[in-house]
Amino acid sequence: MNKQEMNEIELIIGKILRVGVIISVTVMIVGMVLLLIKGDGGYGSHFPTTFAAIGRGLLQFKPDAILMLGVFLLILTPVLRVIVSIYAFFKEQDYLYVYITVFVLIILVGAMIAGYWIGK
């Protein structure tokens, strides 16, 4: 991989991080505005913690579900960055970093799954 291709991948990674944060913050702002307008999150004293509950809440335009979607998108942003980094290291034929980054991705996904099951 030449230097120009590496620079392009670095620019893509930077753009992914910026766009991911902007989208997640925008979704959270929409949720906050709805929460201020409605005065209630739509769930009483608890938050939606499962994908099914968040999906149902999104269809019903519940502020807490929209806020949780924003948080979920914010969490996914660095995960997407790790996936793009795996591709970049693979293109560079830097297989040690491919293995290390795949290991980091496995840890991230494992932590999300563990957090999901512990939160139930």
- At 49-108, the pLDDT tens digits run 788 888 999 999 999 999 999 999 998 998 999 999 998 889 888 899 999 999 999 999
- The pair of three-digit structure tokens given for residue 86, joined into one six-digit string: 């795996």
Single pTM value for the model: 0.80
Between 119 and 16, residue with greater pLDDT: 16
Q: Is the pLDDT of residue 39 over 70?
A: yes
- The pair of three-digit structure tokens given for residue 41, joined into one six-digit string: 């999150």
Give the whole-angstrom CA distance, residue 115 versus residue 68: 15
Per DSSP, the three-state class of 31 is: helix
What are the distances in angstroms from CA 66 to CA 7, 25, 49, 58, 63? 35, 11, 12, 6, 5
Q: Are 84 and 6 in contact (CB under 8 A)?
A: no
Please tell me the total count of domains within the chain: 1
Task: Identify the domain containing residue 21 by its residue range.
Answer: 3-119
What is the reported pLDDT for 65? 92
Give the whole-angstrom CA distance, residue 73 versus residue 21: 8
Q: Are 88 and 6 in contact (CB under 8 A)?
A: yes
- The mean pLDDT of 111-117, rounded to a whole number, is 84
Band the pLDDT of 1: cuts 50, 70, 90: low
Helix ranges restricted to H, 39-62: 51-59
Q: Are 18 and 108 in contact (CB under 8 A)?
A: no
Give the whole-angstrom CA distance, residue 120 versus residue 117: 5
